[in-house]
């Protein structure tokens, strides 16, 4: 029957149909053929559609690229990507895969003027002091009590993690008074604790890095993270140097381990008309500043650590480049000469010492390209699991225990001033 119908259609086409109508008849015939075919049988081995396949989450097993070329431990698994940007024009956040099959997060580009995006600049330091966020008292807000959310770790002089707090010496079980005090900082007490060396910055790839920073309390609580995208300019002078141009478009995720009013917030930038916020990044060799236990920790002098504010790179700025025979020193140096000078400084101070510190200093050479106080755009993001794993104490994972029995005629006090029960931790 089909053969007869097809022959009839063909005769009609030849007698009076145009090419377009003939095509239409043939298409119509093909559609009818498909309708008459029985539906395919269901099979459990049938490939799933792209809509039914779950997106693979970031495994976090990507091996970061150390500046020195040494491979560090693998990233922690379970890293969550930041929220996908809804703004037009920027890169969307997605998981990328490297040559080894590991994945990492590709953060969206930050657009000036977009909601949540602000301007700022980065400075640097490493004083060795106990992190601000390792003090019990700095986690307390009696006006807005919050449950225990963890505390930043601290380390002893040999870089072993130790507890962040201890019982008050006047502790009296069940009688009049009990309390907890933070272990002192090495910057105030030679028996105190230090910043742990694995909080040095690390390169994940050529355009993404992780690290820790001191931030102003108006934008950050302890453990808050921000995305910094460097814009190729310099905070100190109008005309950027080669290192600033070399890091344009690079992204760094920083987590707040220190909070302080001395870190600037929303102030007039030196150049341009906009206001900006400072991020003081922890970089070994970045300068010991007003407080210092770092040189003693390493058995070095204060002078060994470079200029107090600016550290080893400021050694290059203030004469190191000129000593290399470069005319006008830092004003004429190429990118490669900036890197060479800082690389020599890193080797001088950290060569043959702790790998984490040496690699962190070399990160400033090879990833941040020896840039001095670069400007940036920033916005708040979710913290990568890698940074959380480096930040939170593995010893003090729960709040200090309430005394048992609780003092009948007194109080349990945190830092000698706050009632334990007013912290919101219990």
Q: Which domains does the chain carry?
A: 116-131+193-391 (2.40.40.10)
Active-site option among 106, 127, 366, 372: 127
Do the strands 225-234 and 374-381 form a parallel or antiparallel pair, or are they unpaired? antiparallel
pLDDT at res. 15: 39
- The SS3 of residue 413 is strand
Distance, CA of 230 to CA of 249 (rounded, Å): 6
Q: Mean pLDDT of successive 10-residue segments in the chain (426 residues)?
A: 42 39 34 37 32 30 37 42 34 53 76 94 98 96 94 98 95 87 97 98 95 97 97 93 98 97 93 89 97 96 96 96 87 95 98 96 98 98 95 98 86 92 93
Token representation of residue 69: 């070329």
pLDDT of residue 165: 98
Provide DSSP, 66-104.
-TTS---PPPPS-PPPPPPP-SSSSPPPEEEE-TTS-EE
Residue 126: what pLDDT? Answer: 98
Residue whose entry in the numeric block shows the structure tokens 């707040």: 256
Beta bridge partners of 256: 213
pLDDT at 94: 61
Q: How many angstroms separate the CA atoms of 406 and 417, rounded?
A: 17
pLDDT tens per residue across span 350-391: 999 999 999 999 999 999 999 999 999 999 999 999 999 999
Contacts of 324 (CB under 8 A, 6+ apart): 337, 340, 341
- Residues 421 and 401: their CA atoms lie apart, in Å, by 11
Nearest to 264 by CA among 286, 251, 280, 287: 280
**pTM for this model (two decimals):** 0.78
pLDDT tens digits, residue range 114-157? 999 999 999 999 999 999 999 999 999 999 999 999 999 999 99
pLDDT at residue 174, as a whole number: 78
Per-position DSSP letters for 318-380, written without gaps between them:
IIIHHHTT-TTGGGT--HHHHHHHHHHHHHHHHTTS-HHHHHHHHHHHHTSTT-SSEEEEEEE
Active site residue 127: yes
Give the model confidence (pLDDT) of 263-303 as tens digits. 999 999 887 778 999 999 999 999 999 999 999 999 999 99
Helix (H, G, I), strand (E, B) or coil at 1: coil
Q: Using only C-alpha atoms, what is the Rg of the chain?
A: 30
**Residue 120, burial from CB neighbour count under 10 angstroms (0-12, 13-18, 19+):** buried
Q: Can you tell me whether residue 199 is helix, strand or coil?
A: helix
The per-residue pLDDT for 90 is 37
Nearest to 181 by CA among 131, 128, 135: 135
Among the listed residues 62, 198, 280, 396, the single catalytic one is 280
- Closest Cα to residue 107, out of 239, 204, 3? 204
Which sign does the torsion angle of CA 390, 225, 264, 85 carry? positive
Q: Burial-class residue 145 by CB neighbours within 10 Å (0-12, 13-18, 19+).
A: middle
Is 98 a residue of the active site?
Answer: no
């Amino acid at each position: 029957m089909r053969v007869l119908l097809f022959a009839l259609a063909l005769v009609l086409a030849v007698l009076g149909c145009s090419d377009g109508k003939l095509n239409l008849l043939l298409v119509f015939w093909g559609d009818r053929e498909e309708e008459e075919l029985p539906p395919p049988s269901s099979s459990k081995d049938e490939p799933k559609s792209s809509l039914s396949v779950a997106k693979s989450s970031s495994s976090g097993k990507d091996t970061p690229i150390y500046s020195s070329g040494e491979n560090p431990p693998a990233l922690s698994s379970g890293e969550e990507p930041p929220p996908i940007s809804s703004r037009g024009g920027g890169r969307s956040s997605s998981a990328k895969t490297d040559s080894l099959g590991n994945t990492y997060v590709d953060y969206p580009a930050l657009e000036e003027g977009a909601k949540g995006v602000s301007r700022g600049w980065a400075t640097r330091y490493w004083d060795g002091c106990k992190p601000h966020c390792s003090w019990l008292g700095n986690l307390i807000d009696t006006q807005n009590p919050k449950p225990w959310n963890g505390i930043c770790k601290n380390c002893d002089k040999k870089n072993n993690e130790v507890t962040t707090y201890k019982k008050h010496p006047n502790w009296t079980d069940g009688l009049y008074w009990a309390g907890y005090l933070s272990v002192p900082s090495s910057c105030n007490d030679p028996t105190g604790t230090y910043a742990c060396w694995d909080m040095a910055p690390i390169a994940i790839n050529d355009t993404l890095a992780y690290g820790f920073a001191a931030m102003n309390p108006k934008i950050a609580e302890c453990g808050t993270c921000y995305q910094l995208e460097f814009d190729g300019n310099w905070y100190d002078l109008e005309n950027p140097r080669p290192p600033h141009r070399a890091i344009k478009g690079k992204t760094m995720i920083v987590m707040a381990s220190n909070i302080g009013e001395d870190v600037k917030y929303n102030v007039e930038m030196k150049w341009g008309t906009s206001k900006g916020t400072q991020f003081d990044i922890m970089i070994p060799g970045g300068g010991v500043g007003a407080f210092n236990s770092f040189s003693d920790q390493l058995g070095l002098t204060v002078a060994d650590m470079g200029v107090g504010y600016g550290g080893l790179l400021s050694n290059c700025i203030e004469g190191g480049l000129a000593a290399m025979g470069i005319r006008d020193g830092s004003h004429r140096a190429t990118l490669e000469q900036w890197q060479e000078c800082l690389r020599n400084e890193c080797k001088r101070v950290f060569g043959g010492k702790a790998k984490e510190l040496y690699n962190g200093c070399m990160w400033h050479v090879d990833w941040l390209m020896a840039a001095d106080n670069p400007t940036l755009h920033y916005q708040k993001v979710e913290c990568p699991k890698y940074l959380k794993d480096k930040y939170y104490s593995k010893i003090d994972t729960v709040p200090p225990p309430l005394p048992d029995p609780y003092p009948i005629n007194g109080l349990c006090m945190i830092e000698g001033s706050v009632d334990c029960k007013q912290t919101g931790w219990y």
